[in-house]
Amino acid sequence: MRIVGKAKRLRLYIGESDQWRGRPLYLALLEALKAEGLAGATVTRGVAGFGAHARIRTASLEVLSSDLPLVVEIVDEHVRIAQALTRVGPMVREGLVTLDDVEVVKYTHRYLQPLPGDRLVRDVMTRDVVSVPPEAAVADVMDLLIGKQFRAVPVVNPGGQPIGIISDGDLITRGGAPSRVSVTERLDAESVQAQLAALRASGRTAGEVMTPHPITLQDDTTLAHAVHAMVTHGLKRLPVVDAQGRLCGVLSRLDVLRTVAAAGAQVALPTEARYGRTVGDVMDTAVPTVQADADLVDVANQMIGATLKRVAVVDSDQHLLGVITDGDLVARARPDVRGGLLAALLGRGNPPPLADTARDVMTAAALSGPPETPVAEAIQRMLTEQRKRFYVVDRNGRLLGAVDRQALLLAIAGIDSAHGA
């Protein structure tokens, strides 16, 4: 169950000696609330108080009362609170019932948050970091990224302190790169060298195209605070610095997910765990799709302007058949139309005529599973098969949604994707 944002708080003020059918009322209320499926309830015992009878009850050592005031407090969605009130309201025969609005900032179970948040960044970060000086050629930066798992390079001054970072997007928007690194590395060696030669001829340097003043993490930052910073700023990775501000590592989403996968292998999740336990809980249902016989121009148009350059291929009954990325399109395109296709994928014109259909270029082995797949299992499978996206299908193989690394990062940190906090 997900509760973030506007909610209701129900409070039941009763006495410790109040009974319901021969049992303490507070226990009967808790059982009734649990049966209604409420997110949770808390009973607080007061040290002193008086009620309708104006008789003061105290828990002092001199007079230890057996009828101290109790408060049963419940926070949940408006509809669920209203339903619960119809059941527990009549059970409070003498006392006070209140209802007010609250703002829920975060709600998660301990077992739904497998992130070992108290670990330090230095224990999980990638230490073998590739960095470049500001005078490095953009072509050399591009060459460093080709074939690597990372898609960004820190720029450091002579003292080893990060002064900027160059991402895949920086190479395109300010560096003049004709395509994303993941697309370039799908090309033949001759085409890759031609792209690098063109970048080298431009004379641009790392200092000119970098994003300056990068957000960094101290190496003694806890993982919980580091993930919160990544989510708050919408970043996939953060440079890590030591006490002198020198670059000593990089923390990426992949590092976090690997840490969770290693820790989660030894943790058994209770079956009653609710929101955040499965991919069905956190999946995105707005997945771009194309039919298997779709023209590749239609496929390219789906990708143009989209943040995620990939589409799912389905049949007429929405069965998942495969996946197409921008790299798949470019790798299969004829050399005479490749330049126009690369430009179109960056929003610089319309795609040229393309032969074949979606079925001809798709990757058939899409990583998928049912909605009840545990989040921890999805993370492990994505890491093992080196996939960035997990597709959720029903028992008949029909596409329901998908999760990516960002969705999984939010899930393991107990953060609601709609609110980011």
Question: Residue 264 pLDDT > 80, yes or no?
Answer: no
**270 lies in some domain:** no
Residues in a beta bridge with 290: 313
Cα maximum dimension of the chain: 94
**271 lies in some domain:** no
**273 lies in some domain:** no
Residue 216 backbone dihedrals phi, psi, to 5 degrees: -125, 165
- Give me the pLDDT at residue 391, please: 97
Residues in a beta bridge with 69: 15
Question: Residue 68 pLDDT > 90, yes or no?
Answer: no
**419 lies in some domain:** no
Dihedral over Cα of 113, 119, 121, 123: its sign? negative
Minimum mean pLDDT range among 64-78, 164-178, 363-377: 64-78
Mean pLDDT of all residues in the chain? 87
Asked if 211 and 137 sit in the same domain, the reply is: yes
What confidence tens digit (pLDDT) does each residue in 72-82 have?
999 998 998 99
- Give me the pLDDT at residue 62, please: 46
Asked if 260 and 125 sit in the same domain, the reply is: yes
Question: Residue 273 pLDDT > 70, yes or no?
Answer: no
Q: What average pLDDT does range 31-52 have in this prediction? A: 84
- Give me the pLDDT at residue 413, please: 74
**183 lies in some domain:** yes
Q: What average pLDDT does range 241-264 have in this prediction? A: 91
pLDDT-derived band at 271, boundaries 50, 70, 90: very low
- The most confident of the ranges 29-43, 152-166, 361-375 is 152-166
Q: What is the CATH number of the domain that holds 91?
A: 3.30.70.120
Asked if 89 and 222 sit in the same domain, the reply is: no
Asked if 125 and 103 sit in the same domain, the reply is: no
**272 lies in some domain:** no
Give the distance from CA 347 to its chain's centroid: 27
pLDDT-derived band at 210, boundaries 50, 70, 90: very high
Q: Are 207 and 213 in contact (CB under 8 A)?
A: no
Q: Cα(261)–Cα(382) distance, rounded to whole angstroms?
A: 10
Asked if 136 and 258 sit in the same domain, the reply is: yes
Share of the chain above pLDDT 70, in %: 88
Asked if 156 and 252 sit in the same domain, the reply is: yes
Where residue 407 falls (left for φ over 0; alpha for ψ -120 to 50; beta otherwise) is alpha
Asked if 203 and 305 sit in the same domain, the reply is: no
Q: What is the CATH number of the domain that holds 375?
A: 3.10.580.10
Residue 153: which domain range? 121-264
Asked if 297 and 384 sit in the same domain, the reply is: yes
**100 lies in some domain:** yes
pLDDT-derived band at 49, boundaries 50, 70, 90: confident
Q: Cα(234)–Cα(227) distance, rounded to whole angstroms?
A: 10
What confidence tens digit (pLDDT) does each residue in 276-330 have?
578 998 899 999 999 999 999 999 999 987 888 999 999 999 999 999 999 999 9
Write a three-state SS string for the chain. Answer: CCCCEEEEEEEEEEECCCEECCEEHHHHHHHHHHHCCCCCCEEEECCEECCCCCCCEECCCCCCCCCCEEEEEEEECHHHHHHHHHHHHHHCCCCEEEEEEEEECCCCCHHHCCCCCCCEHHHHCECCCCCECCCCEHHHHHHHHCCCCCCEEEEECCCCCEEEEEEHHHHHHCCCCCCCHHHHCCCCHHHHHHHHHHHHHHCCEHHHHCEECCCCEECCCEHHHHHHHHHHHCCCEEEEECCCCCEEEEEEHHHHHHHHHHHHCCCCCCCCCCCCCEHHHHCECCCCEEECCCEHHHHHHHHCCCCCCEEEEECCCCEEEEEEEHHHHHHHCCHHHHHHHHHHHCCCCCCCCCCCEHHHHCECCCCEECCCCEHHHHHHHHHHCCCCEEEEECCCCEEEEEEEHHHHHHHHCCCCCCCCC
Q: What angle do CA 314, 317, 323 make, to 5 degrees?
A: 10
Q: Which of 264, 296, 324 is the last residue of a domain?
A: 264
Question: Residue 13 pLDDT > 80, yes or no?
Answer: yes
Question: Residue 231 pLDDT > 90, yes or no?
Answer: no
Please state the pTM of the whole predicted model. Answer: 0.74
Q: What average pLDDT does range 353-369 have in this prediction? A: 91
- Give me the pLDDT at residue 51, please: 64
Asked if 91 and 142 sit in the same domain, the reply is: no
Q: Is 6 exposed, middle or buried (0-12, 13-18, 19+ CB in 10 A)?
A: exposed
Asked if 14 and 96 sit in the same domain, the reply is: yes
Q: What average pLDDT does range 138-145 have in this prediction? A: 95
Q: Which of 235, 264, 293 is the last residue of a domain?
A: 264
Residues in a beta bridge with 45: 70
What confidence tens digit (pLDDT) does each residue in 350-359 have?
999 988 899 9
Question: Residue 110 pLDDT > 60, yes or no?
Answer: no
Q: What average pLDDT does range 238-260 have in this prediction? A: 95
Give residue for tokens 């008086």.
50
Q: Cα(178)–Cα(296) distance, rounded to whole angstroms?
A: 20
pLDDT-derived band at 409, boundaries 50, 70, 90: confident
Q: Which of 264, 290, 306 is the last residue of a domain?
A: 264
Q: Is 122 exposed, middle or buried (0-12, 13-18, 19+ CB in 10 A)?
A: middle
- What is the domain count for the chain? 3
**178 lies in some domain:** yes
Q: What average pLDDT does range 382-400 have in this prediction? A: 95
- Give me the pLDDT at residue 3, please: 61
Asked if 238 and 347 sit in the same domain, the reply is: no
Asked if 406 and 323 sit in the same domain, the reply is: yes
Q: How far is CA 233 from CA 126, 216, 236, 405, in A?
A: 20, 11, 9, 15
Residue partners of 101: CB distance under 8 A and separation at least 6: 6, 7, 8, 9
Question: Residue 2 pLDDT > 90, yes or no?
Answer: no
Question: Residue 421 pLDDT > 60, yes or no?
Answer: no
pLDDT-derived band at 55, boundaries 50, 70, 90: low
Q: Cα(192)–Cα(255) distance, rounded to whole angstroms?
A: 29
pLDDT-derived band at 401, boundaries 50, 70, 90: very high
- Give me the pLDDT at residue 59, please: 52
Q: Cα(112)–Cα(413) distance, rounded to whole angstroms?
A: 9
